[in-house]
Amino acid sequence: MAWIQKEIALKPRARGFHLVTDEIVRALPEIGEIRVGVAHFFIQHTSASLCINENADPTVRTDLERSFNELAPEDAPYYVHTTEGPDDMPAHIKAALIGTSVSVPITDGRLNLGTWQGIYLCEHRDRGGSRRVVVTISGE
């Protein structure tokens, strides 16, 4: 059994839901060495999140962004945490709802995602900057 842990930096993106599967796979050639295992992806931020969702139709990403903006609007009068700008508290709420990590099986050197699945970086700040993801791979 092999254990690999690596921190990768995703390029900065604007607010929204971004398909990052290819960027992640390019940063992890080690996956190709694993016959059977699992990759765990953990984002080290409180205003961004990771999820697995539709990889083909970009309107899904648009609809997710619009829906989450309705769930956690900017400038809600009941927010107390407001010192970092109007997008900050909604970003924390969205990250809490979506979560900080995803796990994906590895089969024969590839992430074993479904046909229509991809890994998303959910950027909840207008300008979040580069996001760090710790990847832990276990397998043989």
Instruction: Give the chain's domain count.
Output: 1
Is the confidence at residue 31, as pLDDT, over 90?
Answer: yes
Give the mean pLDDT of 86-101.
Answer: 98
Please enumerate in sequence order all residues whose Cβ is within 8 A of that of 126, keeping only pairs 6 or more positions apart, or say none.
14, 15, 85, 87
For the question of whether the overall pTM of this predicted structure is more than 0.85, the answer is: yes
Q: What is the pLDDT of residue 140?
A: 97
Residue 94 — pLDDT band, cuts 50, 70, 90?
very high
Q: What is the pLDDT of residue 85?
A: 95
Give the mean pLDDT of 50-67.
Answer: 98
Q: Is the CB of residue 101 less than 8 Å from the CB of residue 129? A: no
Element (H, E) at 105: strand 101-107
Q: Does residue 140 lie in a domain region? A: no
Q: Does residue 70 lie in a domain region? A: yes
Q: Is the CB of residue 127 less than 8 Å from the CB of residue 13? A: no
Q: Does residue 96 lie in a domain region? A: yes
The residue range of the domain holding 15 is 11-34+44-74+82-100+111-131
Is the confidence at residue 1, as pLDDT, over 90?
Answer: no
Q: Does residue 139 lie in a domain region? A: no
* Amino acid, single-letter form, for residue 105: P
